[in-house]
Structure 1
């Protein structure tokens, strides 16, 4: 059974879905830009049947609050505040795309809070060519469109401290690469693996949306890593 709950944090309310055995080790799931916690439903509960799972809606997404300020560091701080609010001293952490950037920023800022880290189809944080962002979506979306421009600007031109801080990550880390059909340059994923001290990579030729396009293969790669 999955419960949908809200926790009021300083400056924003964060929605989350909680599932799994109450006494299991905690696992936090962080979605991509424009997604929400339910994006993980296709790989739960097979992903971590022994974990207590907390799938968050990042600020501006799903049922979480809309704010005047959006930034990757603010999302990292939301997750840290969430852990504190629920009394979760140390968690395993899984992030896809934007959620993965939030995850590695947390793991480098507070390495003692992260046991194991899974990053799905995320490149090393180097500048990339910027593209235009439309003023509004073509159809209704389940997130605040105002998140897109500032977050994309940060990812297009990341703070060099993001890359330098990767050396501080102590969690054993698994990178799940989407292979040649992903829009993410796979050599940049290999570079991210080089920058994180205890890291290995598995490639699943599924494109950027690995866990939704190839859920069985994703679970086969990630579940043993989380349970080891």
Structure 2
């Protein structure tokens, strides 16, 4: 599978490429603001995961397949490794890849998710999206009206509507809703590769102070699989911490890159 992607900055041998991975029902667009903040100093690749954005639709929708897609993506870019930065579902895909192919991960940054199963349900969200009659609506506003019957949060509705595209005069969801519904058990779960003994490289787990996705009870499991992991809280942020506290997120990320991964921002001499 050939994943669609966005590219920021330019490759420099003295510092690693960053691959940013979005969460469930998101796309590469979600990382645009952060990528623009980082592109002066770093080379970034931001793919759409399978069944999301402009990437192909395919099943199964699980972490082994997502990780295999990403490994093939790295190969097509001609890169031996990268620093993988993943939010939520993207974080789980990055963890699975690092556990299965640690030599392809120069570093790992996991954003507000842990390597554990979750009970968060997405059935109502998928039902709301399926309820939109794509042949009958004439605007995004009409689609939002349908979503509002199921979902009270206007921010969530706007997030979902980023997936609604008008192509050749017809509306369609860019995400494959049926593939996501069939794969939801695998997406909310997490089963590490059977032959993995853990990821021996540098890892940073960032979590929001107002989020319940990463808790003290999960710390032993994180350190079991990622023994060099650092855990850092971003104050005043929920699950979408990179959108809610972008400056703090970028500061934490770049501090990790400098100290643990060995990357350094580009200096003026590099531009000469």
Query: TM class by shorter-chain length?
Result: 0.7 to 0.9
2:93 partner SS: helix
Change (3 A) 1:31 1:164: same
Change (3 A) 1:182 1:56: same
Q: What is the correspondence of 1:28-107 to structure 2 with a 5 Å cutoff?
A: 28-47=19-38, 49-107=40-98
In structure 1, C-alpha distance between the alignment counterparts of 2:217 and 2:68, rounded to whole Å: 26
Q: Which residue of 2 aligns with 1:22?
A: 11
In structure 1, C-alpha distance between the alignment counterparts of 2:43 and 2:243, rounded to whole Å: 21
Q: CA offset at residue 22 of structure 1?
A: 3.0
The structure that has the greater radius of gyration is 2
Match among 143, 161, 168 for residue 198 of structure 2: 168
- The structure where strand makes up a greater share of residues is 1
| Contact 1:121-1:189 at 8 Å conserved across structures | no
1:214 partnered with 2:245: yes
Change (3 A) 1:163 1:212: farther
In structure 1, C-alpha distance between the alignment counterparts of 2:23 and 2:120, rounded to whole Å: 18
| Contact 1:118-1:173 at 8 Å conserved across structures | yes
1:226 partnered with 2:226: no
Which contiguous aligned blocks of 4+ residues in structure 1 show a shift greater than 6 angstroms? Answer: none
TM-score (norm 1): 0.83
Q: CA offset at residue 131 of structure 1?
A: 3.5
TM-score (norm 2): 0.71
1:131 partnered with 2:121: yes
Which deviates further from its counterpart, 84-93 or 187-196? 187-196
Q: Mind listing any 5+ residue stretches in structure 2 that lack a counterpart?
A: 132-142, 144-160, 164-173, 260-272
In structure 2, C-alpha distance between the alignment counterparts of 1:105 and 1:156, rounded to whole Å: 13
In structure 2, C-alpha distance between the alignment counterparts of 1:100 and 1:186, rounded to whole Å: 16
**Cα root mean square deviation, aligned:** 2.3
In structure 2, C-alpha distance between the alignment counterparts of 1:40 and 1:192, rounded to whole Å: 28
The size of the alignment, in residue pairs, is 213
